[in-house]
Amino acid sequence: MSFDYNSLTSKQKKVYSIIESFIREKGIPPTVREIGELAGEKTPGAIQGILNRLEKKGVIKRETGMARSIQLVSDNSQYINPVYVPEIKKVNNRTFKDLLSVYNVLQYHPVSPSLFDDCDDCIFVNYHNCIMPESNFQKDTMFLVSRKKELAAGDTVLAIYDNHAILRKYHPTDEPGNIKLVAEVDLLGKEVFSADEISIVGKVIGMVVKC
C-alpha cells in the first residue's frame, strides 16, 4: 500500500519522518514522548493530534492499549520483528509458579531482538518491586530478566526471599544446597541462603527505562 507523501502538512511530514527514521535505526516504533522530544514539541497532546490525523489519512496504524504500537502503512517495511516481553506486576511466593498469569501481566513491551542475545522466556520487572543492591536507578527503570539463562559467578539475579523480590550478585558455594547472594548494601543481614528459603526467578540480562 502507498500514499501521497505530498498530501501531508509540514508537521505531519516531520512526525512521519521521525517515526520512519526511528524504526529504521532501532527496529521498533517510538513512543509519543520520544516523538515529541525529537520533534521539539513538549505537549504530548499536539503529537497525539498529528498521529490521529496521520491515522485518518491511512499513513499509520496503531493498536489500542499497546505500547509502541505505531506502524507505518507502506510497502517498504523497516521493522525488525520484535519480541513481546511481559511486564510483571508482582514477583512473590504467590505468583512465582505462574508469573505470566493474565492477572499478573501489566502489559507487553516490544523489544528488538538486536538489543539482546535472547529475549525468549524473559520478563520485565520494575525496580520499585525489588530490594536493590544499589539505589541509583531512574524511577522508571525496568530489569529484563531471562528465566532460562544458566547462572555464572557474578551474575545479577532476581530472586524471592521472605516473599520479597531481591536483586543480588550470584555466587556458588562449596556447601551443597546453599548459594551466596551478595549485595553492595546488605539490607538483609545475610548472604548465604539455603535452597528451601530462596527461589531464583532468573538472570538479569539488561535494563531499560520505561517510556
Predicted TM-score of the model (pTM): 0.62
Same domain, 25 and 115: no
Q: Per the structure, how many domains does the chain have?
A: 2
The H or E element spanning position 15 is: helix 10-26
Query: Which residue, of 72, 93, 125, is where some domain finishes?
Result: 72
Range of the domain at 123: 83-209
Same domain flag for 143 and 190:
yes
pLDDT by position in tens, the chain (length 211)? 456 667 888 889 889 888 888 887 777 888 888 999 998 888 888 999 999 999 988 888 887 767 788 888 865 555 556 778 889 999 999 999 999 898 898 887 777 776 666 677 899 998 777 776 555 666 678 899 999 888 999 999 999 998 889 889 999 888 888 889 888 766 677 888 888 899 999 999 988 876 5
Is the same domain home to 54 and 89?
no
116 and 41 in a single domain? The answer is no
Give me the pLDDT at residue 1, please.
45
| Helix, strand, or coil (residue 45) | helix
Domain identity same for 102 and 61: no
Is residue 77 in a domain? Answer: no
Residues 6+ positions from 211 with CB-CB distance below 8 Å: 31, 33, 34, 67, 68, 140
Query: Quick check: helix, strand or coil at residue 147?
Result: coil
Distance of alpha carbon 101 from the chain centroid: 18
User: Where residue 141 sits, what CATH number does that domain have?
Assistant: 2.10.109.10
Phi, psi of 8 (to 5 degrees): -85, 150
